[in-house]
Amino acid sequence: MGEDSVKSPLLKWAWNCAKFGLLTLPLFPLLGEVCLLSAIILTFKARYRQIIKYPLNWGLAILSIWLIIICFQADRPTEAFLGLANFLPFMLLLASFSVLIQKPSQLRQLARAIAIPSIAVVILGLGQLFGGWRTPNLFLGWELVANGNPEGRMASVFMYTNILAVYLSIAFVLGLGLWIDIFVSRKNKNKDISYLLLLSLAVIADGVGLILTSSRNAWAIAVFSCVAFAIYLGWRWLVVAFFTACASILGASFGPSPTREWLREIVPAYFWARLSDELYPDRPIATLRTTQWQFCWEMTQQRPWMGWGLRNFTPLYKAKMGLWLGHPHNLFLMLMAETGILATLFLCVSIGWIFFRAVILLSIWSRLKSNNKLRSNTVSIESETYSKKNRLRRSRDKLILFTYLLAFGSCVLFNLLDVTIYDLRVNTLGWVLLSAISGIVYSYRKIVIEK
């Protein structure tokens, strides 16, 4: 936000609502969503003209209209129209928050609001697994099921363990990025030590929670995120350590004999048995991901342009396979089957363009030479006076943007083997991450144009 934005009372209220909404979202979903909705409305009221000028928002408007048209052509129109709730409100969030979020400092504030509450979520999950904690049905908008859901796997305040896994993946990446930011650039030692301890608790809690979800997808993403941070920071020894640990676990799961048996003496069975699927042998064919994906591809072939309608996979799959299944464990195959190839490509290209521009911005910041001059909403850098303070600030800005790219990338990767849009809280977090990235890209692009 520019200087005029800082002085805008509406945007101040919108920003405070957004932060409070994300802070309360995991444990008080209704309150959190109401605050975020208030932030959207206030931002539209304050910056309506600016929002409608952004080309991406015109694309989102066209996509929204196309999704509505598809609903009329759906196999089950009622289900399709209900499915719009998973997309249309969040496109409004993307359009408004791309204007509301303009500074790297705002990214840090939002990251804290997302990462810190995960401590309470994990504590409730530990009580669920090891203390038999439970709550009445739909307590505060969620239910705590004793011993997890499915049994033996932590789900905490979410309806299923995989939903908790993607939530903790986001919180873990953001918390780790904030931890590195403070550790590398600490200034006020007393304040930073307290903050580091809190972030350390959040990262450790999220790591423990991820292990207890027993989600192979989340495990892989957590390892990938740690390696990505290590490579970004140039910590080669940490990269070697992670690859050694991963190679040991993979060898214990899939390696040849007798190496596999030797490694299984070292690696806990909790990991290799889960990865090799020996914990759940002889699964019914209808529950296999490959079966679900093949069915989605057949749906796409039959209706390639308009699809069968949002939320239509479940009834169609049940009619053919005799099994109720909420989704096909791949978001992109599901979208092609339900909305057609054109709508899926349009959405993927729009999101990919934001991500691509953010990567380019990271590259520009990395290549910034001493003879360059860059003026943005948060920093002003001149070659002759490129002070240590400004270099540190730029380094921190690069790190927090990289963290958001990694967190959003984790969501995308998770949805290659699962579908998370049906959980309101996790879906909201994914769109907030994308909006934050878009806001930084949009802010920088606007400054370049103005120059």
DSSP per-residue letters across 300-318? HHHSTTT-S-TT-HHHHHH
pLDDT per position as a tens digit, 41-70:
999 999 999 999 888 999 999 999 999 999
Q: Which residue has the tokens 């349009």?
A: 346
23 pLDDT band, cuts 50/70/90, is very high
- Output the pLDDT for position 21: 97
pLDDT per position as a tens digit, 172-182:
999 999 999 98
| CB atoms inside a 10 Å sphere around CB 299 | 23
Give the residues across from 142 on adjacent strands: 139
Q: Under 8 Å CB-to-CB from 165, ≥6 apart: which residues? A: 210, 213, 215, 217, 218, 414
- Output the pLDDT for position 241: 78
Q: Is 232 helix (H, G, I), strand (E, B) or coil?
A: helix
pLDDT at 188 over 60: no
Q: Under 8 Å CB-to-CB from 431, ≥6 apart: which residues? A: 90, 93, 94
b/e code 409-431 from CB counts within 10 Å (16+ = b): bbbbbbbebbbbbebbbbbbbbb
pLDDT per position as a tens digit, 191-248:
678 888 999 999 999 999 999 998 888 988 998 899 899 888 887 777 787 778 777 7
User: Hey, what's the torsion of the CAs at 175, 178, 179, 184, to 10 degrees?
Assistant: 160
- Output the pLDDT for position 446: 60
Q: Taking residues 95-99, what's their average pLDDT? A: 95
7 pLDDT band, cuts 50/70/90, is low
Write out the two tokens for 174: 């953001």
| Pairwise pLDDT comparison (352 vs 242), residue with the higher score | 352
Contact at 8 Å (CB) between 214 and 220? no
375 pLDDT band, cuts 50/70/90, is very low
Predicted TM-score (pTM) above 0.85: yes
pLDDT at 356 over 90: yes
- Output the pLDDT for position 121: 97
- Output the pLDDT for position 32: 96
pLDDT at 25 over 60: yes
pLDDT per position as a tens digit, 132-170:
999 877 767 888 999 999 899 999 999 999 999 999 999
275 pLDDT band, cuts 50/70/90, is low
pLDDT per position as a tens digit, 98-113:
999 999 999 999 999 9
Please state which of the ranges 121-125, 259-263, 319-323 shows the lowest mean pLDDT: 259-263
- Output the pLDDT for position 278: 59
- pLDDT, the chain, mean: 86
pLDDT per position as a tens digit, 323-343:
888 899 999 999 999 999 999
Q: Is the four-CA dihedral 243, 155, 334, 332 of positive or negative sign?
A: negative
> Rounded to whole angstroms, what are the CA distances from 66 to 56, 59, 204, 309?
15, 11, 44, 12
Residue 56: closest CA among 354, 409, 408, 340: 354
Residue 2, burial from CB neighbour count under 10 angstroms (0-12, 13-18, 19+): middle
Domain boundaries, the chain: 3-450
Q: Under 8 Å CB-to-CB from 396, ≥6 apart: which residues? A: 104, 181, 185
H helices within 73-188, ranges in order?
A: 77-83, 88-100, 104-115, 118-130, 161-184
Q: Which residue has the tokens 């599901």?
A: 334
